[in-house]
Amino acid sequence: MSYFVTGTDTDVGKTLISCALLHGFAAAGKRVVGMKPVAAGCDEQDHNDDAQRLRAASNVLASYGQVNPYCFTQAAAPHLAARFAGVRINLERIVTSCRELEAQADVVIVEGVGGFCVPLNDEQDSADLAKLLNLPVILVVGMRLGCLNHALLTVQAIAASGLTLAGWVANGVDGQMMMLDENIVALRQRIDAPLLGIVPYHQSAPDACKIAEYLDIAQPAR
């Protein structure tokens, strides 16, 4: 029951939805742990805020290194942040950490970085990582102008990778978006996967535990 969470872009709420999924599965009695394989932007302790939020939403205690194998100081595209640090992101190392987490938990929620096709090194991207992990994908659609194109192209990329799109979440990131309901209808007509939830726009930082109430964790396809 593990999933790879990707988004239509950066800053569309992947961490929020990943944490909400963790809370939802935990409330259903599952042992859960979150994973952020690659993070760009860390504090003086070499810890990333998104990774820390995933750890806080987990009920399985895992080491920071397992949850976040690669953390870079520069808040840039991961392959560039890695290059700046003199590091090459090794996808096999990430797969090993994920398998270790799977041995400890019923559900592992793996949060990708940026969009589905963001480069991770000179040859491989986030889609390659998802394929190596071989997990069903949950797509977070940031509901704002331009999201239809981004969402449908991402759905095509997921299908081309041979992975299952387990479902998608409509996450309100623009409180002024016009025709929100009509855009959601357009996506429902075109995405052959269940809509797992519609999360309204929140002005202040939302509580992932409360956001879990908007999600139907029983729906994701396998």
Element holding 115 (H helix, E strand): strand 107-115
CB neighbourhood size of 66 (10 A) = 16
Calculate the CA 59 to chain-centre distance. Answer: 18
Which residues fall within 8 angstroms of residue 13, CB to CB, at 6 or more apart?
A: 7, 140, 142, 171, 173, 199
Q: Can you read off the two tokens belonging to residue 18? A: 């990943």
30 is catalytic: no
Place of tokens 């509901």: 143
Is residue 191 within 8 A of residue 150, CB to CB? The reply is no
Angle of helix 126-133 relative to helix 147-160, nearest 10 degrees? 50
Q: State in Å, rounded, how far the first CA of the chain is from the last one.
A: 8
On whether the CB atoms of residues 212 and 196 are closer than 8 A, the answer is: no
Catalytic member of 14, 30, 36, 210: 36
Which of helix, strand or coil describes residue 165? strand
Beta carbons of 8 and 151 less than 8 angstroms apart: yes
H-type alpha helices, 35-161: 49-57, 64-67, 78-85, 91-102, 126-133, 147-160
Catalytic residues, by residue number, are 36
